[in-house]
Amino acid sequence: MSSVQQNKEEGRYIYAVIGAEGREFDSKHLTGFTSPAIGGRGDEVHAISYQDIAAIISVSPVIKYPISRENTMAHQKVLEELMKDFTVLPVRFSTVASSKDGVCAAERIREEVLKARYEELKALLTKMNNKIELGLKAFWTDMKVIFQEIVDENSQIKKLRQKLALEPITQPFGGKATLGEMVKNALERKKAKEEKDILDVLKKTCVDWCSNKIVGDNMITNSAFLVEKSRMEEFDRLVDKLATTYNEKIKFKYVGPVPPINFVELVIVLEGGE
C-alpha cells in the first residue's frame, strides 16, 4: 500500500506565494488555474489570500513527496502558469501544511504564513517584481581539442608528456599520476577562464546571477540569471552573440523564462501536532 493510501489526513500542498493586487477573489479563493495539482488525483489548484498576497495550494495527503520527474514537473508547471500573470515566490518542493489543534491547514497557511510573514513576503515580492530567471549551460563540444590546447599552452605538461612517451610502459606509475594531476588542474583553470569570459558578457544585463553545480569535464558553466523582463531581448541577443563567437567550440543550452527558484525559495514548516 502506498504512503498516500496509508495516510488519510488531508493537508494543503503549497506551491508559491504571489502578489495578488487588483485580483478578484471568490470566497477568499482565487480560481481559474488549469495546471493539474501534484499527486495525480485530480485536485484543483487554487489560492487563499490575505490582503494583497496569496498562497497557491491544492488539497494533498500529508506526506513527503518523492523527487520524481512526475512530481517535480507538476510543481514546476503550476509555477510556470503563475508567472505569466503574477510575481511568484516559489515555495520549496514538497511543502505540505497539516491541520493542528482544530485549525485546518488552509487557515494555518493564511494566519501563520501570509499574515505572520506579510512584511517579509511583500518585500520579496517587490524585489522580484517584473523579473524572470534565465538559465545557461555551456559545454565544450570536443574534449580532444581542449586537451590538446592544454598541452600546447603549458610547457611543463608538454615536456612531461614527451618524457613519459619515451619511457617504457614498465616504468612506475608516478609520472603518469603527476601528469594527470597537472592536466586536471590546467583544465579547471581553463574552464574558470572560459566561464568568466562568458559571464562577463551576460552579467551586465542581469540584476543577479548564481552558479550551480558543474558536472563532467566538458561543462563550463551552469548559471542562472535574474533579469528584468524589459531586458530579456537584450539578454537573448548576447547569448546569440556568444554562440556566434564560439562557433562550434562551445555549445550553449539556454532555458527560460522560468520562475526565480535559484534566487528565492520560501521555506515553510506547518506540521501537525503529536
The gap between the terminal CA atoms of the chain, to the nearest Å, is 24
Whether 268 is covered by a domain: the verdict is no
What span, in angstroms and rounded, lies between the C-alpha atoms of 55 and 123? 16
Q: Which pLDDT score is estimated for 32?
A: 67
Q: Are residues 176 and 115 in the same domain?
A: no
Model confidence at 266: pLDDT above 90: yes
Q: Which pLDDT score is estimated for 157?
A: 63
Q: Which pLDDT score is estimated for 251?
A: 94
Whether 249 is covered by a domain: the verdict is yes
Q: Which pLDDT score is estimated for 177?
A: 62
Model confidence at 145: pLDDT above 90: no
Q: Are residues 223 and 151 in the same domain?
A: yes
Q: Are residues 142 and 114 in the same domain?
A: no
Whether 186 is covered by a domain: the verdict is yes
Model confidence at 2: pLDDT above 50: no
Residues 6+ apart with CB under 8 A from 46: 29, 30, 31, 33, 56, 57, 58
| Residues 146/242/227/193 CA torsion (nearest 10 deg) | 30
Nine cell digits for residue 191: 574552464
Tell me which of 79, 104, 129 is where a domain ends: 129
> 198: how many CB neighbours lie within 10 A of its CB?
22
What span, in angstroms and rounded, lies between the C-alpha atoms of 109 and 115? 8
Q: Are residues 82 and 119 in the same domain?
A: yes
Whether 272 is covered by a domain: the verdict is no
In contact, 56 and 63? CB cutoff 8 Å: no
Whether 271 is covered by a domain: the verdict is no
Q: How many domains does the chain have?
A: 2
Q: Per residue in 16-58, pLDDT tens?
A: 999 976 565 444 445 567 888 999 888 889 889 999 999 999 9
Q: Are residues 37 and 52 in the same domain?
A: yes
* Range(s) of the domain holding residue 118: 3-129
